[in-house]
Amino acid sequence: MNKPWKKYLLWFAQEHIEFRFEEIDSLLSMFQIKMRHFKEPDNTAPYWIVEFESESDLKRLVSRSVSIRSCMELWAHAKDIQSLHCQLQNFPKQLMEPYFQPHLSFKIEVETFCRHFSQKEKINKLESFSYLPVQGPVKLKDPDVCLHYIEYYGTRANDPPENPYDVFFGRWIANGLRQLIRKLSLKTRKFIGNTSMDPQLSLLMANQAQVKDGDIVLDPFVGSGSLLVAAAEFGGFVLGGDIDYLMLHARTRPSRIKQKERAADESIKANMEQYNLQHKYLDVLINDFASSFWRDDVEFDSIITDPPYGIREATERVGTSKENFTVSEKHLPTHIPAKIEYGISSIYNDLLKFAAKHLRLGGRLVCWFPVFREDYSEAVNKS
């Protein structure tokens, strides 16, 4: 007999919300997990009400997500506090009993979104749940059971309503991977450049690429290697390429304001060592992406990259505007190849052709694409 689907609350960080659906959808596909929306989600709000077949499926999803702050089994949800208490008092006792045993410690956390509570107000909220059939001792740090009460006041922090729009109560299950964003902070990273990708966005891209243990991951416009760090964190063996010799040899001007010159040991490899990921680092290669470089039979599990746009970094490839140009044998040993503009349309045309040739069947290409906001329409581009 199939187990009934349970209702859960996914509570998101209210950052980069436009990537929320894509990350969750990619992870559900990667783990082959089924999830149902209890109601159509509003992507401006920090929560989804969803259903899963098993709690273990939910934990697998949350264990990889950097968008999700936490999740809980939803025991009650209402538009006002009185209705929530009424729902909770009628919640089946047999579903609560396993978590209210005498030997199990517990605590109730009170959280608000877009409104601040004083400590006294929080205590009053806690005391309103005195009817719960708890038996075990209160333990504020690492309890056996953690219950969450959340009041949602919308997203206008400067003008919150008098009463919450939604209130939730349930049993906390797990936190997302938000701590990984702090761990990979660019503020403390050994080697960065002017265009080093934000850690949260790098991790979101790695999740959309479905990187997993043992995957071979390439960034063909690697720069200072931020995307390699994120992919390696999720188990990928990482490779990079770039035409910028000075960047890959850490000879560019330092990006940090107070740093006058690069340290001798700054490198992408040093970043990997900093995060104990050196065993996932294969190499970075100086090469012109516009020229054929890899063997035809080389395959990657995913390609994750942020191509240059010609704003903070040049869009260049090896070449010359001179006709019938040749280099004499005499000058070959000291010749430095000339570069010409590598147009954005040519970059993406080459990138798509490369992915079609070198991605394994089912592999993913995840990249950024520049648009003019005034001209961009999501509806038009999807059609």
Asked if the model's pLDDT at residue 357 lies above 50, the reply is: yes
Stretch among 231-240, 248-257, 279-288 having the lowest mean pLDDT: 248-257
Rounded to an integer, the average pLDDT of 211-216 is 98
CA 200 to chain centre: 5
Distance CA 51, CA 216 (A): 33
Rounded to an integer, the average pLDDT of 118-142 is 93
Q: How far is CA 112 from CA 147, 163, 265, in A?
A: 14, 11, 45
* Mean pLDDT over each residue of the chain, to the nearest integer: 91
> Do the domains 6-176 and 184-382 sit in the same CATH topology, yes or no?
no
pTM of the model: 0.90
| pLDDT at position 311 | 57
Asked if the model's pLDDT at residue 134 lies above 80, the reply is: yes
Asked if the model's pLDDT at residue 2 lies above 70, the reply is: no
Stretch among 68-82, 102-116, 300-314 having the lowest mean pLDDT: 300-314
Rounded to an integer, the average pLDDT of 187-198 is 93
Band of residue 199 on the pLDDT scale cut at 50, 70, 90: very high
Band of residue 383 on the pLDDT scale cut at 50, 70, 90: very low
Query: Kind of pairing, strands 216-219 and 166-175?
Result: unpaired
pLDDT, tens digit (0-9, with 9 covering 90-100), for 12-24: 999 999 999 999 9
Domain boundaries, the chain: 6-176, 184-382
Asked if the model's pLDDT at residue 192 lies above 50, the reply is: yes
| More confident call, 341 vs 94 | 94
CATH architecture designation of domain 184-382 = 3-Layer(aba) Sandwich (3.40)
Fold designation for 6-176? VC0802-like (3.30.2130)
